[in-house]
Amino acid sequence: MKRLSALAATAMLALCFGASQAVAMEGGPGAAQAAGQSAGSGQSASGGSGAYQLGPSNNVGSIRVLSPGDNGNVTQSNSTTAAAVAANTNKTDQTVDQSQTGGGYGSDSTQIAGQEARNAQKADADATAKQLGAKNDALSIRVLSPGDDGDVTQSNSVGAGALAANGNTTDQTVDQSQAGGGKGSDATQIAAQEAGNHQSADADATAVQVKPSNTATSIRVLSPGDDGNVTQSNSTTALAAALNLNHTDQSIDQQQSGGYGSDYLQVAGQGAWSGQHADADATAIQLGAKNEYTPVRVLSPNHKDKKHGKREDAKAPHGGSVEQSNAVGAFGLALNSNATHQPLRQTQTGHGSSGLQVGGQGSWSGQYGSADAFGLQGVMRAKE
């Protein structure tokens, strides 16, 4: 057992000073295997997008005097969109396979394997969309001009979307096997694994809409006919998503079998560290949204009422349907996903032999997710 204790001390020193250096063996024929692996990855991704629209204006005017006829549809739109994507993906694979067979009487066999993986990722995505003073006007005036007006569709839209994503996969495998050692042989297996992963994702989306205005006016004087549908909308949307995905897999498989009265030592250590941070902010602001629809009729019946002989009021609104909407939406999502898997298997067989197995595993995961969504709508007018 003294020889076994000394062998254990030597193995622990080898782990402390690095598994990439072989242990010196004394006496008799010796076989040594040493394997060292190190992988370091650093990634940074930044995406920025900005869209600005100042004072966009769409005007449609139709004036008819003693001019019967139909007006076509009117479609007006002011749109501002900003999108940003920052993405990182990383995959690290490390494999060590060691095998020793056929050692003679009193032989010394040593296997040392070390693996280390470091991954750092950062993704930052910012999207900003601003629309100031967007304006859509549709005006139809008829004097002694029978006819129909087409549909009026008006919209002011602002959208901002940001996505920051990190994906990381680390696989480490050590397979050590020793067989056939002669009587009184010494066999040593040392394996160490360490994996560190750090991820940070930040996504910001901002959508601002100030004083969007939609106005539809229909004036009829002694002009029978129908007004089309009126659809008006002001929409502000901000979307932000920050995602982190991490998977760490570590596997150690050690097997020893040999002759009578041999000493066996297996030492395995695994350590995994994962840190993730996700921050998503979404802000949507809409100020002074305004939708107005004003129909004025003077002795101007629509076709349906005229057909049924109904009496018309001087300013009774007749025409298509009217739809008006002001919408503000903000969405924020921060997501962290982490999986750490560390299997450790040690097997020793031998008649009348002394065996020592030491296995250690450590795993630490830190995750932080923050999602903020803010929506503001002020001074809204919808008039029919």
Give one DSSP letter per residue of 212-267, joined into a string. Answer: -EEEEEEEEES-------EEEEEEEEEEEEEEEEEEEEEEEEEEEEE-TT-EEEEE
Going by the DSSP 8-state scheme, the letter that residue 312 receives in this structure is P
Q: Which has the higher per-residue pLDDT, 8 or 325?
A: 325
Residues 6+ apart with CB under 8 A from 177: 98, 99, 100, 254, 255, 256
Give me the torsion for CA of 281, 284, 285, 286, rounded to 10°. Answer: 180
pLDDT, tens only, 249-271: 999 999 988 777 778 899 999 99
SS3 144: coil
How large is the average pLDDT for residues 46-52?
A: 89
Answer whether residue 130 shows pLDDT above 80.
yes
- pLDDT tens-digit series, residues 322-340: 999 999 999 999 999 999 9
Tokens of residue 293, six digits = 């629809």
Q: Where residue 378 falls among pLDDT bands split at 50, 70, 90? A: confident
Asked if residues 261 and 187 have their Cβ atoms less than 8 Å apart, the reply is no
What is the maximal distance between C-alpha atoms in the chain? 121
pLDDT, averaged across the chain = 85
Q: Of residues 119 and 25, which shows the higher confidence score?
A: 119
Output the pTM of the full model: 0.81
Question: Is the pLDDT reported for residue 239 higher than 50?
Answer: yes
pLDDT band at 109 (very low <50, low <70, confident <90, very high): confident
Tokens 């940003």, located at residue = 84
Amino acid at 224: P
pLDDT tens per residue across span 53-78:
999 999 999 999 999 999 999 999 99
User: Would you kindly state where each structural domain of the chain is located, as residue ranges?
Assistant: 2-8+49-383
